[in-house]
Amino acid sequence: MTRTWRRLTDRLNGKQDPEVLYEELPDHLAVPVRQWAAKTLINHVLVGRVCLRLRLPSTVLNSRLPEEALANYEDKSNPMIFMEVVDVLLAGLADANPYFSGKYGASPPALRRLASH
């Protein structure tokens, strides 16, 4: 089956057009995207990278749980700030070496020791 799924009400009404994209983070995606960001940001190297690139206030990095503070960061003067956080986070993940991150706990010397056995 190659047809694209459509909502029941759209099918019943004969609507054939695809759903439009959203300009901002829609409400129905806000919680899952913020949860994903918090889990991904456990790697504090990425938290620092995001904060530095977006020039966020030091209160984010100085908070008790900076990954949660960043995943829930809002700025009334910039309603797109969380989308910018996600953008920088995705760019950081593309550049990240997972074996060097704090999340995996493997430093280059530890990897060399593992490789020599």
Position 32 in a domain: no
Q: How far is CA 8 from the centre of its chain?
A: 31
Domain, as residue range, for 83: 45-96
Position 58 in a domain: yes
Position 12 in a domain: no
Position 81 in a domain: yes
- Rounded CA-CA distance 46/92 in Å is 6
Position 74 in a domain: yes
CA-based R_g, the chain, Å = 20
- Rounded CA-CA distance 89/83 in Å is 10
Q: How confident is the model at residue 6 (pLDDT cuts 50, 70, 90)?
A: confident
Q: Residue 64: name the closest of 44, 50, 46 by CA.
A: 44
> What's the pLDDT tens digit per position in 13-49?
888 777 777 878 889 999 999 999 998 888 667 888 8
Number of domains in the chain: 1
Position 8 in a domain: no
